[in-house]
Structure 1
Amino acid sequence: MEKLLRSGEVYFNTIEFFRKNDSGDHLRGDFAEGLKFSPLPNFRIPTLESQGIRFKNAKINEDTDISHLYSMYVVTNEFWQEQMHFDKKILEFGDYALLIKPREFVEKVLKIAKHEIKYGLASYYKTPTIPLSLNPFSKREEFKYQNEFRFVINSSSKEPIKIKIGDISDIATMIPTETLLKIKFLKK
């Protein structure tokens, strides 16, 4: 958090990292990250089957393994409309959270990046029903509490990518994460 606030270090890791980091890190790991629909008959993914998820026509999209992700929690209109609230699971992200002005942050990242960056909200899908097309913004519904806004870089590098956008204390404030659970949103 300090690196992000004081020096603006935005750290992108590979999709492969997040998929392989699943064991023991349910916050940053997802064994289905990078999954895509495929016409391969009877293709099996044992780690998914051990979770009770069975399907015949799916495989890992190896093209996305070299995509790099940076994810943030986002407050959407659903909060203002009282259709969504912070889940207590967010306390596991750490003791502190940064409240960041989104437009300014996105502009800084895009201005400094030497890579093409796509960005937007993650879309959540139900398992075991696998949609016909998944992409780096697709995430299993059990992670919906993370309410992600993602930045995606396609790069041939298998190493993490770091972008330094500079001090963001003019557009961000650090608060204790538990404070988020006490926030009340006023209807528009």
Structure 2
Amino acid sequence: MTDLLENGTIYFNTIEYFRKLEEQIARGDKYEGTTNIKNYHEYDKLKLTLTIPETGKEIELNPNKFHLREFLTEIKGNLYSMYCIKSPDVMESDYKIDQRVKEFGTHFVIIKNVVKFLDLICEEIEKQDISYRAKIVKYYEKEKINGEITLFDKSTEYEYQKEFRIVLYTNEIKPIALKIGNLTEIAELFEIKAIDDMKLEWTNKNGVEQRV
């Protein structure tokens, strides 16, 4: 976090790295790189046959549900992720940052000028001639969804992370570190325990102050 604040180091780890981190609840997600999910339930016309080669015997099974996932065996590209406070979140009177985000580390950086920060990142990515896309992640129920999945779709079990991510479309599987310069004018560093007492205030056009 100090490197981010003082040098503007934006570290894009590989998508493959995050998929293999299944043992780490916060960062790991084996569904990274999933392209399609199909869910079948007991009311669907699903026939499942188990064949035993030695005997040639076929056994029909009737599962009450069946979950199929299509995914890329090798995922090229890189990710940079951030916790994102969106407008609807600010309007909630009981808004709190989920305690589980503490699993990410001991400190965090608050970006005070988000537009400037993203402009600096995008300028550097374009300077490096790398294809990319930046977007807020959407969350789906993996036991119910049927259809295509992109790198900007994640299971609802990660919804507490309120993720905004930048994806670099590269042809290699290796981390990429970009530097956008000192950020002390537009960002500040805090210990993670600060989220316990954090309050968010906003003022509408009539000058009425609101607190969250």
1:34 offset after TM fit, Å?
1.3
Structure whose residues are more often helix by fraction: 1
Is 2:161 aligned against 1:146?
Answer: yes
| Counterparts of 1:67 and 1:175, CA distance in 2 | 30
- What SS is found at the alignment partner of 1:55? strand
Per-residue deviation, 1:112: 1.1
- In structure 1, the residue matched to 2:198 is 183
Q: What whole-Å deviation, never above 9, does each CA across 1:121-174 have from its counterpart, x for those lacking one?
A: 111111212341211111110111111110000000111111111111111001
Could you say if the C-alpha distance between residues 102 and 131 of structure 1 is closer, same or farther in structure 2, counting changes exceeding 3 Å?
Answer: farther
Correspondence for 1:76: 86
Structure 1 partner of 2:122? 110
Structure-2-length-normalised TM-score: 0.75
Rate the CA distance shift 1:16–1:176 in 2: closer, same or farther, 3 A: same
Letter in 1 for 2:108: A
Residues 143 and 174 of structure 1: is their aligned pair in 2 closer, same or farther, counting only changes over 3 Å? Answer: same
- Name stretches of at least 5 consecutive residues in structure 2 with no aligned partner: 39-45, 49-64, 205-212
Count residues with an aligned counterpart. 174
Contact between 1:54 and 1:128, CA under 8 Å: does it hold in 2?
no
For normalisation by structure 1, the TM-score amounts to: 0.84
When the two chains are superposed, the root-mean-square deviation of aligned CA atoms in Å is 2.1
Deviation at 1:54, TM superposition (A): 4.4
2: CA distance, partners of 1:179 / 1:20 = 30
Q: Does 1:11 align with 2:11?
A: yes
1:34 aligned partner = 33
Name the amino acid aligned to 2:20: K
What amino acid does structure 1 have at the position aligned with 2:18?
F
Q: Percent identity of the aligned residues?
A: 29
Indicate whether 1:136 and 2:147 are aligned.
no
Whether the 8 Å contact between 2:37 and 2:67 is mirrored in structure 1 is no
8 Å CA contact 2:27, 2:104 repeated in 1? no
Moved more, 8-17 or 143-152: 8-17
Q: Pick the structure with greater CA Rg.
A: 2
2:8 is matched by which residue type in structure 1? Answer: G
Please say if 1:91 is aligned against 2:90.
no
**Structure-2 separation of matches of 1:95 and 1:103:** 26
User: Does the 8 Å CA contact 2:37/2:142 hold for their aligned counterparts?
Assistant: no
Structure 1 residues 81-138: Cα deviation after superposition (integer angstroms, max 9, x where no partner): 1164201111222221101121111100011111122101111111212341211111
| Aligned 8 A contact 1:37 1:130 in 2 | no
Q: Return 5+ residue gaps in structure 1 as ranges.
A: 43-52
Whether the 8 Å contact between 2:83 and 2:161 is mirrored in structure 1 is yes
Q: Is the strand fraction higher in 1 or 2?
A: 2
Q: Could you say what secondary structure the match of 2:27 adopts?
A: coil
